[in-house]
Chain A
Amino acid sequence: MKVETKPARCKECGLCKANCPKGAISFSEHTNAAGYHPAVINDELCIACGICYTVCPDGVFHVLGKEA
């Protein structure tokens, strides 16, 4: 896994999905406790660029980072 998420915090605003350069983000079929469908990352497509972290207003993403 490259990016860890906190689904409980997602408010389904769509900004991460709209900005992800790899189309790696979709929304879960399930809802979180607040009633939103949280963002889900397809790890195969994700390049760990951190754009989702940058644009998310609700601190959902943690880009784990790794050494070369």
Chain B
Amino acid sequence: MATKERKVPALVDKPMDFCPGCGHGVVSRLIMEALEELDQLDNIIFPIGVGCSSNLGAGLECDRLHCCHGRAGAVATGMKRVNPDVLVVSYQGDGDAYNIGIAETFNAAYRNEDITVIVINNTNFGMTGGQMSLTTMEGQKTSTSVHGRDCSITGYPIRFPEMVAREFPGAAYAARGTVTSPAQINKLKQYIKNALEAQMNHEGYSIVEVLSPCPVNWGMTPIKAMERIEKELIPYYPIGEFKKRGENQK
């Protein structure tokens, strides 16, 4: 029986300091696999956010810039405008992209910058010990919502890719995936590829959010954390493509 070789792309084949079972490791590999399959490994720069995403600063072997917290949307804009043929892929957490950097994230999408944004949504500020973020679920206990998030005083968890798809007619692609099973991981890789291809064809802004486990701050085993995503997160944060390629106004 013939079997296919599966090997971590060399540019991301380094030990990283993520906790056991963290979703960041899978997503960073998938991005590199997608770039490899699109023959773009030598045509990429990553503006990297602050958070556990910052591990990519040490973990990647390609052009990358560790941005000030939340500002990757603005940095990506500059990178892309001076190098329109280079793929610019920001890699950010939910806290970085949606709390601290919501102005930059929103405005880059609003201007329809020709960039790809990857947001690792683990429903908290993972790196700093699990504080509440804009994506924390209603009732979720975090170190800054010790009785559970009370949405009557904090507002409700944000669904940014849906907003992009609905409100920004020029945006090329918006999707949400997850890493809970081999099937979901394969689907997510296809979403990432679609976003990269949209950028390669200068179709406009693309975003892929990933529901990602943070077992340590959720106080769960890696396997329970995957179950939490399936049972609690997906009903609120649906998986799918909210805007497909070719559906945007040019």
Residues of A participating in the B interface, judged by any CB pair closer than 8 Å:
2, 8-9, 11-15, 18-19, 36, 48, 50-51, 53-59, 61-68
A53 lies within 8 A of B6 (CB): yes
For chain B residues 1-39, which have a beta carbon within 8 Å of chain A?
A: 1-8, 12-13, 15-16, 18-26, 29
Taking the nearest CB of chain A, how far is it from the CB of B17, in angstroms?
10
Question: How distant is the Cα of A68 from the Cα of B8 in the complex, in angstroms?
Answer: 23
Question: How distant is the Cα of A58 from the Cα of B25 in the complex, in angstroms?
Answer: 6
Chain B contacts for A58, CB-based, 8 A: 15-16, 18, 25
B6 lies within 8 A of A62 (CB): yes
B25 lies within 8 A of A59 (CB): yes
| Residue in chain B with minimal CB distance to A55 | B182
**Given A11-B20, A13-B21, A19-B182, residue A59 in contact with residue B2 (CB < 8 A):** no
Question: How distant is the Cα of A59 from the Cα of B23 in the complex, in angstroms?
Answer: 12
Is there a chain A Cβ closer than 8 Å to B222's Cβ?
yes
Residues of B participating in the A interface, judged by any CB pair closer than 8 Å:
1-8, 12-13, 15-16, 18-26, 29, 179, 181-182, 185-186, 215, 221-223, 226
Instruction: Name which of B22, B29, B179, B182 has the most chain A CB atoms within 10 A of its CB.
Output: B182
Taking the nearest CB of chain A, how far is it from the CB of B189, in angstroms?
9
B2 lies within 8 A of A55 (CB): no
Contact of A48 among B3, B19, B222 (CB under 8 A): B3
| Residue in chain B with minimal CB distance to A54 | B182
